[in-house]
Amino acid sequence: MNFAAWLRASAMALAIPLVSMGAEAEGGDKTSPVSLYNILAYADEHAPGVLVARAQTERGQAAVDGARVVLQKNTIAGAMAGPRFAQGARGTDYQLWLRQPIEIAGERKQRRNTAEKTRERTHKELEEVRWQVHREVHAAFHLALVARERWSLAEKILVSTEELLSVAERRHQAGDISELAVRLAKGELAQARQASLAAEQEYRSAQLRLAEVSGWPADVLPEPVGELDEPKRAPPMEELAALALAKHPGIGARVGAIAEAEARVRLEDREAWPEPSLGVTYTRESLPIVGLNEHIVQGLMTLPIPFTQRNQEGRARARAELSVAKAEKQAFVQALKVRLARAANAVNADAARIAAYGTEILPAFEGNLTLLRRAFELGEADLLQVLVGRERLLRIQQDALTAYQDYYRDAAALEAEVGIEVWPDEHHQDEGDLGEQHDH
């Protein structure tokens, strides 16, 4: 039996008592089974990062709503009144006016275009955050599976140590071994219990990490349903690079930022144009000598003369933002291939490590523990030999699980750089119904 098959068998053996609905973990923690497919879907709706990014898209919509206003500046109204004196007679003059600034350089159209680019950019940033959450959940789910396997190993060692102590006590009563061997076995049992508790705590921490990144309720720990996937080598670099350039949401978000910055440059250029004002005035002039009033209505137009202020700051700032956006995209793409190569090499190395363990070294762990116990029971090996052999077997198992842990971390890093799932068939979708039983 290779290591992957052994892992699947032990995963199912450990999962059976754990994945029942509403089960309570040791210490009173409630758990709920969930597949990778379902927790990815849950995270897409409830993860903290996604909630914040989704709320930020309202800024883009707010910009669109603001740009729809036809007149960006309010109408200005004014009034004047005062007495008029003429040869001892007195009258009162009034003047009322309305003035409306208007845009003549196509500012409104460009403002609406800029607002639309802002909205598109916020939605692309949302897609980037959704992808970041997706790959974090993907990695956390598999790392929780690895942590559960470590706990399973610790439990097996605990059971084996209890059996060894029982055998040691029987052989001591029969006079085959000294009391020192019994005391040694008791010490080993105490260490095995500590190791089991530590492994369980590591698993609970992995569950909480999975809950944190997915937005899962903290009062019910997610119990990952599934098994450790067979390790796979990374696709060729040419394929990875082509996928990343075409699909990575980070590139899309930066392209959106450039489009928004270009639109803002055009808007700021139009804002440099003078804005005339059109209006009307009404004047009542009194003629106190003859006791008459004159009423005057006039049209009004004012035009600013842009001698000094031509929106220099806004235009310069918009061009600086455009330069920054282009530099950020260039830097992102420039480093992408290097990051891809590094991640792909790490995945391939991890997969090779796991394959070496599974095909060349690893025996059946529980079977070897049984053989060691029988050898001690029959007097074919003393307790120290058994403990040394068992420690060696455990170290091999732990090293193999470390290789799996490294593989999943590096696979998550690779998918983070590619921008889409490299191996989309690992969702365990056929097990998704279990996760749907829990209503959040």
What CA–CA distance (Å, rounded) separates 276 from 259? 30
Residue 361 has pLDDT above 80, yes or no: no
Residue 1 has pLDDT above 60, yes or no: no
How far out from the chain centre does Cα 239 lie? 25
Backbone φ, ψ for residue 294 (5° rounding):
-110, 140
Instruction: Write out pLDDT tens, residues 297-333.
Output: 999 999 988 888 898 999 999 999 999 999 999 999 9
If you search the block for the tokens 């060691």, which residue do you land on? 372
Residue 129 has pLDDT above 90, yes or no: yes
Res. 151 pLDDT band, cuts 50 70 90: very high
User: What residues form DSSP beta bridges with 279?
Assistant: 99, 300
User: Is pLDDT larger for residue 50 or for residue 22?
Assistant: 50
Range of weakest confidence among 221-225, 348-352, 359-363, 365-369: 359-363
What CA–CA distance (Å, rounded) separates 139 from 146? 11
What does the buried/exposed string (b/e) look like for 385-396 if buried means 16 or more CB atoms within 10 Å of the residue's CB? Answer: ebbebbeebbeb
Let me know: does 165 contact 183? Beta carbons within 8 Å. Answer: no
Give the H or E element holding residue 363.
Answer: none
User: What confidence score (pLDDT) does residue 439 get?
Assistant: 39
Res. 364 pLDDT band, cuts 50 70 90: low
- For residues 360-375, average pLDDT: 70
- For residues 351-366, average pLDDT: 70
Burial class (CB within 10 angstroms; exposed 0-12, middle 13-18, buried 19+) of 361:
exposed
Residue 428 has pLDDT above 60, yes or no: no
User: What confidence score (pLDDT) does residue 28 get?
Assistant: 52
What does the buried/exposed string (b/e) look like for 184-208 if buried means 16 or more CB atoms within 10 Å of the residue's CB? Answer: bbeebbeebeebbeebbebbbebbb
Instruction: Map residue 42 onto helix, strand or coil.
Output: helix
Let me know: does 151 contact 196? Beta carbons within 8 Å. Answer: yes
Integer CA distances (angstroms), 131 to 25, 169, 239, 241, 244, in order: 31, 57, 20, 17, 13
Domain ranges of the chain: 3-73+109-273+324-435
What CA–CA distance (Å, rounded) separates 191 from 201? 15
Integer CA distances (angstroms), 156 to 168, 209, 366, 401, in order: 18, 25, 8, 15
Q: Please give the structure tokens belonging to residue 323.
A: 């330069």
- For residues 414-428, average pLDDT: 76
For the domain covering 3-73+109-273+324-435, report its CATH number: 1.20.1600.10
Instruction: Write out pLDDT tens, residues 185-224.
Output: 899 899 999 999 999 999 999 999 999 999 999 888 999 9
User: What confidence score (pLDDT) does residue 359 get?
Assistant: 52
User: What confidence score (pLDDT) does residue 16 get?
Assistant: 34
Let me know: does 164 contact 386? Beta carbons within 8 Å. Answer: yes
Asked whether the whole model's pTM tops 0.95, one would answer no
What CA–CA distance (Å, rounded) separates 50 from 131? 9
What are the residues whose beta carbons fall under 8 Å from the beta carbon of 170, sequence distance 6 or more?
none
Let me know: does 426 contact 35? Beta carbons within 8 Å. Answer: no
